[in-house]
């Protein structure tokens, strides 16, 4: 690959030119190798290879993939490869909302792959970055939220808001259109707005019909499962019917040399490999004889369906191990007795489902095995942050606050994000729990932690006096403190110009708790969240108190109980250690609750839920007199 600005300095012979064209032609026929050699991405997982080949070699393809199966990443990879290997082609990436296309451009791959900053890239040769017209600024953010990535060969990748009638994208034409989260598009948007976008020829000025459409315009519909009939499943049924219609195959045909086909449906469905309720709407499935007929007679497999049992049986052992595939699958199952079900499937089940006694979650074994692994974690030169409790911190942190009065314990948990310290893991650096605290004591404790730990965002439970404490933080009596506001949920906060927008009130409903517990579990299972290792007792009395609270928190992770509350949601609690009745939901649950809020704040800070400006706060705020800043342990 030769850059345009170096053509005058490079003289290619005819043989070298032919070899270069042969490589381009080779990569057009072998997209999996192109992903590895040009983009530097691993292609070990079987579902990634199958989905990539299907959408690459078929003009009309549907990808029905479970959540976490890298749908958006596949969308980004195909768009980049098509733009690099085929000059003067326009790739249109759309979502039902603009944030979906923006996520594909920023978070799920296009910008990161082209800038060689995606974590999974095994070797960074910079081919994608050098193919961009402006390598230093990959995304061109134009008017009306229309984003473009321009390549030097004349190709471009475009996304923007579709709206109800596509007013923002009027006049746009594209050779390849890919719709992400297809299940949220309406039939009118697809047929009346998006389909006309593809009314474009490769060479409209030529009289030669063969050059009008050298390679046909393509559509790719991508989405997750849904348990109701809608337009998305109408397209799936239509495509699958055409795939097995011999007359349709004779009409459109395919090129055996390029293995091109007209229609293709790919279903990789991990969540639906378990059936919890009769009558769930599932995609239409064809028998093995039909698939074999397509393989034997037409030498092309149009329809793929793989489930977890086929991988565990070793069918794909030559390409990927079970552990690698399960690591790539981001659906962390929840164990119900002897069976495991992904949480995202459980939340889709109606309230009428009844759990049997042996299906109640074995919450006693929710976290301890991962805590034991963390206990043996030893700091190495690759990690800059010591896994030990701290009394202060200069790096940005996030905090969770569980407000409680009287005999209940007021709890605080502080997490230091790994992204701020150059690591791939986040670690808990501070925990605090105390009962019988007044509002003034809780207020001073929160302000103290914000200052000495450089907290940039914290989530606080609105129950148990959380709303009243929010009002005190928003309107402090002392002029020495900067108002802390929640501009997302508080109308009064919007009228405070100098307030620090760093507070979020949490409505700890059963839905919120179930979702957040699954996030905490997923982070600990993937070794993304670590707890400090326990070392010998330190002579510092305040540090020993922090150790005691962290030990209590570690114990709570192993004692979490839960019970169903309807709608697939569960209530989580830590029973009182003094009582033999496990139904009691009082006692030492406060530290675990504050940890849940801290993890939620961590994901928000890292851009999972909303974008938070990462900057140091409270630069001018003095340290309260009642607290002395102690040493940074481990530094």
pLDDT tens-digit readout, 235-249:
887 877 776 654 444
Boundaries of every domain in the chain = 4-331, 361-605
Predicted confidence at residue 399, as pLDDT, reads 95
3-state class of 326 per DSSP?
A: helix
Q: Kindly report the average pLDDT of the chain as a whole number.
A: 67
Mean pLDDT of 102-120: 75
Residue 325 tokens, joined: 């595939």
Judge whether residue 319 has pLDDT over 60.
no
Q: How would you classify the pairing of strands 455-461 and 503-506? A: parallel
Mean pLDDT of 470-495: 82
Contact 400, 594 (CB under 8 A): yes
Predicted confidence at residue 121, as pLDDT, reads 64
Residue 404 tokens, joined: 């409680």
Longest CA–CA span in the chain (Å) reads 88
Of the candidates 10, 143, 145, 133, the residue with the CA atom closest to the CA atom of residue 83: 133
Residue 262 tokens, joined: 């007209």
Higher pLDDT, 609 or 535: 535
Of the candidates 438, 439, 436, the residue with the CA atom closest to the CA atom of residue 408: 436
- Tell me which residue has tokens 């994208």: 169
- Is residue 520 classed exposed, middle or buried when 0-12, 13-18 and 19+ CB atoms within 10 A define those classes? buried
- Cα 19 to Cα 8, 33, 121, 215, 379: the distances in Å are 20, 17, 26, 22, 50
> What is the full DSSP assignment across 296-325?
HHHS---EEEE-HHHHHTTTTTTT--HHHH
Contact 430, 413 (CB under 8 A): yes
Mean pLDDT of 507-521: 82
State pLDDT tens for residues 546-597.
877 877 787 777 677 777 776 667 777 776 655 444 433 444 446 788 888 9
As a whole number of angstroms, the distance between CA 529 and CA 551 comes to 16
Residue 237 tokens, joined: 């049924």
Judge whether residue 510 has pLDDT over 70.
yes
User: What sections of 142-300 are H helices per DSSP?
Assistant: 187-188, 209-212, 231-243, 246-252, 288-298
Predicted confidence at residue 419, as pLDDT, reads 65
Instruction: Measure CA of the first residue to CA of the last residue in the chain; give whole Å.
Output: 48
- Is residue 291 classed exposed, middle or buried when 0-12, 13-18 and 19+ CB atoms within 10 A define those classes? middle
Predicted confidence at residue 560, as pLDDT, reads 74
DSSP character at residue 401: E
Confidence band (pLDDT; 50, 70, 90) for 423? low
> What crossing angle do the helices spanning 98-106 and 71-85 adopt, rounded to 10°?
70
CATH number (3.30.420.240, 3.30.390.30, 3.40.50.620, 3.40.50.1820) of 361-605 reads 3.30.420.240
Predicted confidence at residue 414, as pLDDT, reads 93
3-state class of 476 per DSSP?
A: coil
What φ, ψ does residue 78 adopt, rounded to 5°?
-65, -40
Q: How many residues does the chain have?
A: 635
User: Angle CA(67)–CA(424)–CA(394) in degrees, nearest 5?
Assistant: 125
Mean pLDDT of 402-421: 80
Judge whether residue 328 has pLDDT over 70.
no
């Amino acid at each position: 690959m030769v850059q345009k600005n170096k053509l005058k300095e490079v003289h290619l012979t005819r043989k070298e030119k032919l070899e270069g064209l042969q490589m381009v032609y080779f990569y057009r026929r072998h997209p999996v190798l192109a992903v590895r050699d040009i983009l530097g991405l691993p292609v070990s997982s079987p579902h990634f290879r199958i989905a990539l080949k299907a959408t690459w070699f078929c003009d009309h393809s549907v990808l029905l993939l479970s959540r976490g199966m890298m749908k958006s990443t596949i969308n980004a990879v195909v768009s980049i490869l098509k733009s690099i290997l085929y000059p003067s082609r326009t790739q249109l990436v759309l979502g039902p909302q603009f944030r979906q296309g923006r996520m594909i451009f920023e978070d799920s791959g296009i910008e990161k792959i082209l800038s060689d900053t995606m974590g999974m890239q095994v070797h960074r040769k910079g081919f994608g970055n050098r193919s961009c017209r402006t390598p230093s600024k990959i995304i061109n953010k134009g008017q009306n939220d229309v984003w473009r990535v321009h390549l030097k060969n004349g190709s471009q990748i475009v996304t923007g808001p579709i709206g109800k009638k596509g007013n923002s994208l009027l006049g746009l034409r594209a050779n390849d259109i890919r719709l992400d989260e297809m299940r949220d598009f309406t039939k009118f948007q697809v047929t009346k707005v998006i389909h006309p976008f593809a009314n474009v020829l490769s060479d409209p000025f030529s009289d030669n019909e063969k050059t009008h459409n050298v390679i046909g315009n393509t559509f790719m519909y991508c989405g997750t499962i849904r348990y109701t009939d809608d337009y998305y499943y109408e397209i799936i049924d239509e495509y699958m019917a055409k795939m097995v219609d011999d007359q349709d195959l004779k009409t459109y045909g395919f090129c055996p040399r390029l293995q091109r086909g007209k229609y293709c449906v790919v279903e990789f469905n991990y969540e639906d490999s378990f059936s919890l309720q009769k009558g769930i709407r599932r995609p239409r499935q064809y028998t093995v004889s039909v698939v074999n007929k397509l393989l034997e007679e037409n030498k092309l497999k149009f329809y793929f369906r793989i489930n977890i049992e086929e991988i565990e049986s070793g069918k794909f052992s030559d390409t990927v191990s079970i552990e690698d595939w399960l690591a790539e699958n981001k659906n962390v199952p929840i164990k119900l007795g002897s069976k495991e079900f992904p949480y995202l499937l459980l939340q889709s089940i109606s309230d009428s489902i009844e759990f049997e006694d042996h299906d109640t979650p074995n919450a006693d074994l929710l976290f301890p095995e991962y805590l034991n692994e963390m206990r043996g974690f030893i700091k190495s030169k690759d990690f800059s942050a010591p896994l030990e409790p701290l009394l202060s911190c200069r790096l940005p942190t996030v905090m969770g606050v569980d407000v409680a009065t009287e005999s209940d314990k007021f709890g605080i948990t502080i997490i230091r994000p790994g992204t701020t310290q150059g690591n791939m893991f986040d670690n808990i650096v501070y925990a605090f729990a105390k009962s019988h605290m007044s509002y003034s004591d809780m207020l001073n404790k929160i302000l103290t932690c914000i200052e000495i730990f450089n907290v940039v965002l914290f989530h606080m439970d609105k129950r148990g006096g959380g709303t009243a404490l929010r009002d005190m933080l928003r309107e402090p009596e002392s002029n020495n403190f900067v108002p802390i506001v929640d501009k997302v949920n508080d109308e009064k906060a919007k009228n405070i110009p100098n307030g620090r927008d760093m507070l979020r009130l949490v409505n700890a409903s059963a839905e919120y708790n179930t979702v957040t517990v699954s996030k905490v579990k997923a982070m600990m299972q993937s070794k993304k969240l670590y707890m400090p290792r326990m070392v010998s007792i330190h002579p510092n009395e305040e540090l020993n108190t922090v150790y005691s609270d962290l030990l209590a928190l570690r114990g709570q992770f192993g004692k979490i109980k839960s019970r169903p509350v309807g709608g697939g949601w569960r209530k989580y609690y830590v029973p009182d250690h003094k009582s033999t009745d496990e139904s009691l939901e009082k006692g030492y649950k406060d530290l675990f609750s504050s940890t849940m809020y801290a993890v939620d704040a961590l994901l928000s800070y890292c851009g999972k839920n909303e974008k938070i400006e990462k900057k140091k706060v409270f630069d001018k705020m003095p340290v309260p007199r009642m607290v002395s800043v102690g040493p940074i342990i481990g530094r």
